[in-house]
């Protein structure tokens, strides 16, 4: 079982490939990587970070992989460094995913109601097209609102998560929306076996951590690759991410440095093996 993770390397700040590699390895899954960009830190809260876009390297990498006859059981894409990379990911799905392979798109582009630095409406439009090709999309609430073209619920306004999910199903049959906060809870909303909306809830824990979405998405992919159902994978990945957030709320004074997810890997694996 091999997964191709297409994501950036943020040298500091624990997100993207720095999260996906250890989590998938811990799950016992081979994780091959295609780095989309190299940044000195992630873009959430740091200033003056460096950014090297690796778009131009990708065609050569793919050419080499072609000579190896390599195929992936999962292609999982995250932060893409340029618009052109969205098209390259689509090409990778067509040329490198096995016949019954699974394509997972985390449409990384924003949080807290806003797009991240460098992302535009045009990018959102193009990402919507990539989502149409996916077996699963894993947007956070902000990304889900952008993809569905609905306003982000500001200042604690209530959100009809079910109707948001159904709107996303016009793009992809299995959307999984993370970070839906209600007063005391935070939930993941996803399409259950029959396609109807299901919610997996946790007590809301304070603290915004860049990379939390990557912990969830990586664990979700790891669980699927280990043969878990969608429901089990959502539960295991949510429990893992929430435990890491709870611990990090007190253990990590500067939230920009990311979750102490490492300390929760053992517990996650025990639950995965049950
Ligand atoms: O975790 C999301 C993410 C991934 N990669 C980069 C980011 C962010 C969030 O800010 O900046 C480079």
Q: What is the pLDDT of residues 118-166, one digit of tens each?
A: 999 999 999 999 999 999 999 999 999 999 999 999 876 778 999 999 9
Confidence of residue 64 (pLDDT cuts 50, 70, 90): very high
- Token readout for 83 is 């618009």
pLDDT value at residue 157:
77
Q: Is residue 203 scored above 90 in pLDDT?
A: no
pLDDT value at residue 230:
97
Q: What percent of the chain has pLDDT over 90?
A: 91
- Chain segment 17-35, per-residue pLDDT in tens: 999 999 999 999 999 999 9
List domains and CATH numbers for the chain.
Answer: 2-272 (3.40.1190.20)
Ligand 1 neighbourhood includes 116 CB (under 6 angstroms): yes
- Token readout for 246 is 């709870």
Beta strands 2-12 and 30-41, pairing class: parallel
Ligand 1 neighbourhood includes 189 CB (under 6 angstroms): no
Q: Is residue 208 scored above 90 in pLDDT?
A: no
Using the mean position of ligand 1's atoms as its centre, give its distance from the Cα of residue 234 in Å: 21
Ligand 1 neighbourhood includes 15 CB (under 6 angstroms): yes
Using the mean position of ligand 1's atoms as its centre, give its distance from the Cα of residue 201 in Å: 24
Using the mean position of ligand 1's atoms as its centre, give its distance from the Cα of residue 69 in Å: 31
pLDDT value at residue 217:
98
Confidence of residue 81 (pLDDT cuts 50, 70, 90): confident
Least-confidence region, from 60-74, 124-138, 206-220:
206-220
Ligand 1 neighbourhood includes 20 CB (under 6 angstroms): no
Confidence of residue 92 (pLDDT cuts 50, 70, 90): very high
Ligand 1 neighbourhood includes 128 CB (under 6 angstroms): no
Ligand 1 neighbourhood includes 174 CB (under 6 angstroms): no
| Cα–Cα distance, 56 to 141 (Å, whole number) | 31
Task: Supply the pTM of this predicted model.
Answer: 0.98
Helix intervals (H) in 8-159 = 17-26, 58-68, 83-96, 121-131, 141-148
Averaged pLDDT of the chain: 96
Q: Is residue 192 scored above 80 in pLDDT?
A: yes
Using the mean position of ligand 1's atoms as its centre, give its distance from the Cα of residue 211 in Å: 7
pLDDT value at residue 79:
98
Contact 54, 206 (CB under 8 A): no
Residue 42, φ and ψ in degrees, nearest 5? -70, 175
Residues in CB range of 91: below 8 A, 6 or more apart: 62
Atom of ligand 1 nearest to the CA of 210: 1
Residues in CB range of 36: below 8 A, 6 or more apart: 6, 7, 8, 53, 54, 55, 58, 79, 80, 81, 82, 85
Contact 103, 171 (CB under 8 A): no
Using the mean position of ligand 1's atoms as its centre, give its distance from the Cα of residue 15 in Å: 6
Residues in CB range of 27: below 8 A, 6 or more apart: 219, 222, 223, 225, 226, 269, 272
- Residue whose C-alpha is closest to residue 209's, from 174, 244, 160: 244
Q: Is residue 207 scored above 80 in pLDDT?
A: no
Helix (H), strand (E) at residue 72: strand 72-77
pLDDT value at residue 113:
94
Helix (H), strand (E) at residue 162: helix 161-168
Residues in CB range of 195: below 8 A, 6 or more apart: 169, 173
Ligand 1 neighbourhood includes 107 CB (under 6 angstroms): no
- Chain segment 40-52, per-residue pLDDT in tens: 999 999 999 999 9
Query: What mean pLDDT is predicted for residues 256-261?
Result: 96
């Amino acid at each position: 079982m091999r997964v191709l993770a297409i994501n950036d390397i943020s040298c500091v700040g624990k997100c993207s490939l720095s999260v996906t590699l250890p989590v998938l390895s811990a799950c016992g899954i081979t994780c091959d990587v295609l780095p989309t960009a190299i940044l000195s830190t992630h873009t959430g809260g740091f200033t003056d970070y460096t950014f090297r876009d690796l778009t131009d390297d990708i065609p050569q990498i793919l050419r080499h992989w072609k000579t190896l006859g390599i195929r992936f059981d999962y292609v999982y894409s995250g932060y893409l460094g340029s618009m052109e990379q969205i098209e390259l990911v689509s090409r990778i799905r067509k040329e490198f995913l096995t016949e019954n392979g699974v394509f997972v798109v985390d449409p990384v582009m924003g949080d807290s109601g806003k797009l991240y630095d460098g992302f535009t409406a045009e990018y959102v439009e193009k990402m919507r097209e990539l989502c149409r090709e996916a077996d699963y999309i894993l947007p956070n609430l902000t990304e889900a609102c952008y993809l569905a073209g609905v306003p982000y619920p500001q200042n604690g306004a209530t959100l009809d998560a079910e109707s948001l999910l159904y709107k996303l199903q016009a793009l992809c049959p299995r959307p999984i929306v993370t970070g839906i906060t209600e007063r005391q809870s935070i939930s993941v909303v996803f399409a259950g076996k029959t396609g109807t909306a299901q919610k997996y809830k946790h007590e809301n824990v304070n603290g915004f951590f860049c990379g939390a979405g990557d912990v969830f998405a990586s664990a979700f992919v790891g669980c699927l690759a280990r043969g878990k159902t969608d429901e089990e994978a959502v539960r295991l990945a949510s429990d893992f991410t929430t435990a890491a957030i709870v611990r990090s709320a007190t253990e990590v004074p500067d939230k920009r440095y990311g979750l102490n997810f490492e300390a929760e890997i053992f517990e996650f694996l025990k639950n995965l093996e049950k």
